[in-house]
Structure 1
Amino acid sequence: MNININFDDAECPVVCPSGTLDRDSLTQNLLELLDNGANKRLRQAQQIQIDLSKVERTDTAGLAWLINAIRDFSKDSKQLKVINIPNEVLDLARLSNAQRLLTPTDSGKI
């Protein structure tokens, strides 16, 4: 798993994980994976997008990782939008009864 962050719009950076989000590739929460500079810039932004378009495969650990990212950003009262959510992630959220935390059109305070 790799993470690219697009800071072109400093007010609304886009976090783009890519590859596989599973128990073998995820050892830390999102903010723990970032260097201090990227972590600080994300914490300063008022809005954040997480774009899942480059996620190839995920399991329940990937869903938990995403929910933890939502939790971490909500501590700072950020507006968060998760976009391009793969059906696999939505299915796992439904099975885990977590779909209210993660919907394709979800936006706003979390």
Structure 2
Amino acid sequence: MEALTLVTQKPGHFVLQGDLNRDSVPLCKQQTFLALKKFGQTSKTESAILDMSGIAHADTAGLAWLINLLKNCKQQNILLELKNIPETLVNLAKISDVDGFLSVQ
């Protein structure tokens, strides 16, 4: 298992790296929520980017966490744009009929 980490490349641009699964999500969940909340409180813009190109593995727990993250951001009036969503996560979203939440075509 590769630990899941959130890297802030610049204000409003975050990169997820590692495994997005049931083992790694609990360890990174709080860090991610706090980073996005801080961004929402200090930023002049309400738009943020979450680049997922560093995700090595994803499962349904990772998908559920991601949907919850999007919901949390919406409640804070932060538009979170997902970039480079891994194909496995896209397929899980389509199979689960939640691809609309991820803006997946």
- TM-based fold match above 0.5: yes
Structure 2 runs not aligned, ≥5 long: none
Aligned twin of 1:80? 80
- Distance in 1 between residues matched to 2:47 and 2:83, nearest whole Å: 13
CA contact (8 A) 2:5 2:17 kept: yes
Residue 54 (1) aligns with residue 57 (2) = no
Between the two proteins, the alignment pairs up a number of residues equal to 99
Aligned twin of 2:21? 22
Q: Which has the higher strand share?
A: 2
Q: Which has the higher helix share?
A: 2
Q: What is the CA distance between 1:21 and its match in structure 2?
A: 0.6
Taking structure 1 as the reference length, what is the TM-score of the superposition? 0.78
The verdict on how the C-alpha distance between 1:78 and 1:89 changes in structure 2, with shifts beyond 3 A counting, is same
- Distance in 1 between residues matched to 2:6 and 2:23, nearest whole Å: 16
Q: Read off the aligned partner of 1:58 and give its amino acid letter.
A: A
- Distance in 2 between residues matched to 1:58 and 1:15, nearest whole Å: 18
Structure 1 runs not aligned, ≥5 long: 106-110
| Correspondence 1:1-110 to 2 at 5 A | 1-7=4-10, 10=11, 13-27=12-26, 30=29, 32-34=30-32, 38-44=35-41, 45=43, 46-104=46-104
- Distance in 1 between residues matched to 2:97 and 2:79, nearest whole Å: 22
- Distance in 2 between residues matched to 1:89 and 1:74, nearest whole Å: 21
Q: Read off the aligned partner of 1:84 and give its amino acid letter.
A: N
Taking structure 2 as the reference length, what is the TM-score of the superposition? 0.81
Q: What is the CA distance between 1:76 and its match in structure 2?
A: 1.4
CA contact (8 A) 1:83 1:104 kept: no
Q: Aligned-pair RMSD on alpha carbons?
A: 2.2
Identical positions, percent: 28
